[in-house]
Amino acid sequence: MLTGLNIAVIGGDARQLEVIRKLTELGAKIWMAGFDQLDHGFAGAAKAKMNEIDFSVIHAIILPVPGTTINGTIDTVFSNEEIIISEEWLSKTPKNAVIYSGISNAFLDQILKSANRKHVQLLERDDVAIYNSIPTVEGTIMMVIQNTDFTIHGSNVSVLGLGRVGMSVARTFAALGAKVKVGARKSSHLARIEEMGLTSFHLDHIVKEASGSDICINTIPHMILTPAVLSELPSHALVIDLASKPGGTDFKFAEKRGIKAMLAPGLPGIVAPKTAGQILANVLTQLLGEQLLEGKESSS
């Protein structure tokens, strides 16, 4: 149970609704900022403007999965209100308050450092990332089907990166009958690719190895699909870039070449917000429970 915890949920999309539902069921008291257009409410949760929240009693702040923009603006799907998080807001919280988001950026890192508040990036956790890879793969399959005139079965697919998402993508497309190559740099990743029964290649050889790809799926958040690589792809090729913004593809060059290239970060929140929200809610429940326990121990 989370009885005794005061939590501010600021902005976000449908995933946050699952988080709010779970936390209120467990007894936490929630203030919801950026939800004024939401039709329904939750027992134990109250809609509020930022200046109506008493941050001095807030034990945790839950931000949207993307965190903030580089200017500090928070995404508010259920409101037209512009919310900008600042060091001032964070500094009003108790010193042991924890701020949760999916990812971070330079702006958020800086104000958290200045306010000296603990920050947890949920998508950096293996459990969240692995669970999230499931709706990510389903969304990727949907995008491929919608944007090609050939079957996945029998097609040549290049997957770039064998992280938590890349592994799930490669395994699933192979199971659908695609001829899958996976590019990586670490020798351990190259060994794992071979163990999975797939074809491996070192990313130093990407220009040659990706040249015949019908579908290229990137998971690496650095420029990897350069003009040199894109020049070798067939004109019918489809590029799906799953890396966080700005992705790892030269999209202007791809357009110039007539190759359809799509940046698709955050697919779980688009294709399966309920499931993605439940994943976040389950992990937050664990973390907030630990935070509540630590607070009780420190006060005893």
Q: For residue 285, is it within any domain?
A: yes
Residue type, 96: N
Same domain, 211 and 118: no
What is the H or E stretch that residue 211 is in? none
The answer to whether residues 120 and 131 belong to one domain is: no
Give the pLDDT score at 300: 46
Q: Which two tokens stand for residue 163?
A: 């992280």
pLDDT tens by residue, 217-249: 999 999 999 999 999 999 999 999 999 888 999
Instruction: Single out the residue of 137, 244, 132, 136 nearest to residue 180, CA to CA.
Output: 137
Please report, rounded to a whole number, the percentage of residues in the chain having pLDDT higher than 90.
89
Q: Which residues contact 6 (CB under 8 A, 6 or more apart)?
A: 28, 29, 31, 57, 58, 59, 60
Q: Are 140 and 68 within one domain?
A: no
22 and 66 share a domain? yes
Position 245 scores a pLDDT of 83
Residues 264-283, mean pLDDT to the nearest whole number = 92
Cα of 196 vs its chain's centroid, Å? 25
- On whether residue 70 sits in a domain, the answer given is yes
Q: What is the mean pLDDT of residues 58-81?
A: 93
pTM (2 d.p.) = 0.85
Q: If pLDDT is split at 50, 70 and 90, which confidence band does 298 have?
A: low
Helix count and strand count (H, E) for the chain: 11, 14
CATH of the domain at 115: 3.40.50.720
Amino acid identity, position 240:
I
| 219 assigned to some structural domain | yes
Q: Which residue has the higher pLDDT, 39 or 141?
A: 141
Verify that 132 and 260 share a domain, yes or no: yes
Number of domains the chain is built from: 2
Residue 1 lies in a domain: no
**Residue 180: strand pairing partners:** 157
Q: Strand, coil or helix: what is 116?
A: coil
Looking at residue 46, what is its pLDDT?
Answer: 94
Give the confidence band of 23 by pLDDT, cuts at 50, 70, 90. Answer: very high
pLDDT of the residue at 296: 56
Q: How far is CA 237 from the centre of its chain?
A: 26
Which residues, including other chains, have CB under 8 Å from residue 102's CB and lie 6 or more apart?
64, 65, 66, 67, 121, 122, 123, 280
Domain range enclosing 283: 6-124+273-299
In a domain, 109, yes or no: yes
Same-domain status, 115 and 165: no
Query: What mean pLDDT comes out for the span 143-155?
Result: 97
